[in-house]
Amino acid sequence: MVEFSVWTFVFGPVFVRELISNASDALEKRRCAELTGQVAEGPSEIRVTTDEAQRTITFEDTGIGMDKQDMVECLGTIAKSGSKEFIEKSIKKAEIQNKENAEAVIGQFGVGFYSAFMVADSVVVTSRKVGQPDDKGLKWTWNGGNSYELADESGLPTGTRVVIHLKPGDSAEFCKADRVREVIDKYSYFVAAPILLNGERVNSLNAIWTLQPKDVTKEMHETFFKQLAKQQNRPQFQRPCYTIHYKTDTPISVRSVLYIPQHKFSMLEYAAQAQNRDCGLSLYARRVLIKPNAKELLPNYLHFIMGVVDSEDIPLNLSREMLQNNPLLRKLRKILTDKILNYLHSEMKKDSVKYQDFYKQYGLFLKEGVVTEMDHSDKESIAKLMLFESSNLKAGNLTNLSEYCKRMQADQKEIYYMFSPSRHLAESSPYFELVRSQNKEVLFLYEPADEVVFLALQQFDMKPLVGVEKWAESAAAKEGDKEKEGKVFRDADKKDLLDWIKNTLGSVKVHEIAGNHRPSEHPVMLTIKHEMGAARHLLRTGEIKDMEHLVFLQPCLHVNLSHPLIKSLSSMKRTDPKTAELLISQVS
């Protein structure tokens, strides 16, 4: 009799996954032994059998099996890891030339078997190790106490059989085939060996992320994608828009298939996604699901990505539900994020029409990334993927920041942009008129989110992002200095007109006023001392609640003294002051 403490797991279905994982380990060990010629080849399968009448669930494998020492060490001591010890022993003795073969076992901590105790009244394990005589089988029995019994058993096939008599109540649901199928579909569907549930194979799809990308067809990807959508309860996703099949062994091992669903997101869906932060990536180890909704693998703005990531380098904790070694996880996150962004950048160049369709659906996620990422290089990597209309291109044609930089004038050091609800309003603006008079290209931002992105980004490729209103304020100030030098304000009538306009509108609306004689279709132009985009953002968010709060903006009104409308005000303010006041309030 051997005493031990029963390990308690938090998640009920875990024991099905763990025992299938153990069976997969045993099959992998046998395969490794077959490769070295130690044992003859045999069948490779995992059988799961449910019996509602007896309230039992049985797991059988045709793997390596266990002898007495294995049973005592692996079943009697929770801290022992049979799989881990097997790998170390095999590599040390150089019995296996291919380390990947030896390491293709996933039970790193040897606790999977003990997950059965949380659902069991009793557990019986029978096993015979490959190569052992027929009368050298063993029977391990636990009847709910703090000890187990180990006895000889003859007439057993090679491999291992685990019979669990389930507790009544919630645990009894695992003697129902449909419930067990759900768990296998979710956690163990892609185990390499066939899994037979009551004689019927349940894992018919290959783990395509383990295959070479050239060997996986479009149809295979679509079938696999639908299986993922089913597992994640996302029936709205029918097929992928983009597919990234990525494998690497450096700096860490990664086997992954990543999908961007072909789907038109509504604002409601985007808001729900932003709130729930569900991630469509699942983390696997040796084809066994370790963690669905693996949020740690991608930044929030990329949580629309669906797929599978399998990395043998990530160690697991006792329950397989939490990941250890955070630096390694951060490295994996960086690898995946860079791969996705680089792939999208490549697709943008390769097929701009398809990419524009993608951007219409997912642009808001990318904008979120620019705003929320802290590192500026990360912000720029995302910003490269954003699309805009430009004053140098016809309406409807889109460009990006990198292309804009290539077209910049030789002496140009800034990137100019303008926020406007529409292109027509943008091109009718006095700010646009001023910047275009110097043949400078302007990017048009039609969505408030675009302006927030530019405020967060600040610069791109070491070139400041400058709103045309800010540029116009600077240009107008320089022009005003020249006019002062030219003694424009010696004309008393014109100075009197500017003073009247300022007094009429009040100091809240007009902090400063200036006149100019620039050829323009616009009678006035308003600038502020602060960034106009930031001011608009404050207005949208309610930070500026009334007119009095506009004082801090320090608005400056630039009056075109050459404009016919302004010229007429000079006499109108004397002959018809009410109409003059109404007119200036309308044009400003």
- Binding-site residues for ATP, please? 18, 22, 61, 66, 80-82, 108-113, 160, 320
User: Cα(445)–Cα(449) distance, rounded to whole angstroms?
Assistant: 9
Tokens 């099905």 locate to 16
User: 486-507: b or e for each residue (b if 16 or more CB lie within 10 Å)?
Assistant: eebeeeeebeebbebbbebbee
The dihedral formed by the CA atoms of 405, 410, 411 and 414, expressed in degrees to the nearest 10: -10
Strands 306-310 and 288-291 turn out to be unpaired
What values do phi and psi take at 506, rounded to 5? 90, 160
The secondary structure of 126-173 as a DSSP string is EEE-TTS-GGGEEEEEE-SSSEEEEEEE-SPPSEEEEEEEEPSGGGGG
With contact defined as beta carbons under 8 Å apart, do 346 and 402 qualify?
Answer: no
Please choose, from the candidates 368, 225, 394, the residue with its C-alpha nearest in 3D space to the C-alpha of residue 299: 368
Token digits of residue 224: 């696999």
User: Cα(104)–Cα(541) distance, rounded to whole angstroms?
Assistant: 54
Strands 306-310 and 280-285 turn out to be parallel
Q: Which residues are annotated as a binding site?
A: 18, 22, 61, 66, 80-82, 108-113, 160, 320
User: Cα(143)–Cα(444) distance, rounded to whole angstroms?
Assistant: 74
With contact defined as beta carbons under 8 Å apart, do 524 and 429 qualify?
Answer: no
With contact defined as beta carbons under 8 Å apart, do 526 and 588 qualify?
Answer: yes
**Mapped to the 3 state alphabet, what secondary structure does 287-325 carry?**
CEEEECCCHHHCCHHHCCCEEEEECCCCCECCCCCCECC
Count Cβ atoms within 10 A of the Cβ of residue 553 and give its class: 0-12 exposed, 13-18 middle, 19 or more buried.
buried
Token digits of residue 469: 């209103």
Write the CA distances from 477 to 474, 497, 501, 512, integer angstroms: 5, 19, 19, 11
User: Cα(5)–Cα(508) distance, rounded to whole angstroms?
Assistant: 76
Please choose, from the candidates 524, 469, 532, the residue with its C-alpha nearest in 3D space to the C-alpha of residue 501: 524
User: Which residues make Cβ contacts (< 8 Å) with residue 292, sequence separation at least 6?
Assistant: 186, 231, 232, 282, 283
Please choose, from the candidates 263, 324, 121, 287, the residue with its C-alpha nearest in 3D space to the C-alpha of residue 192: 287
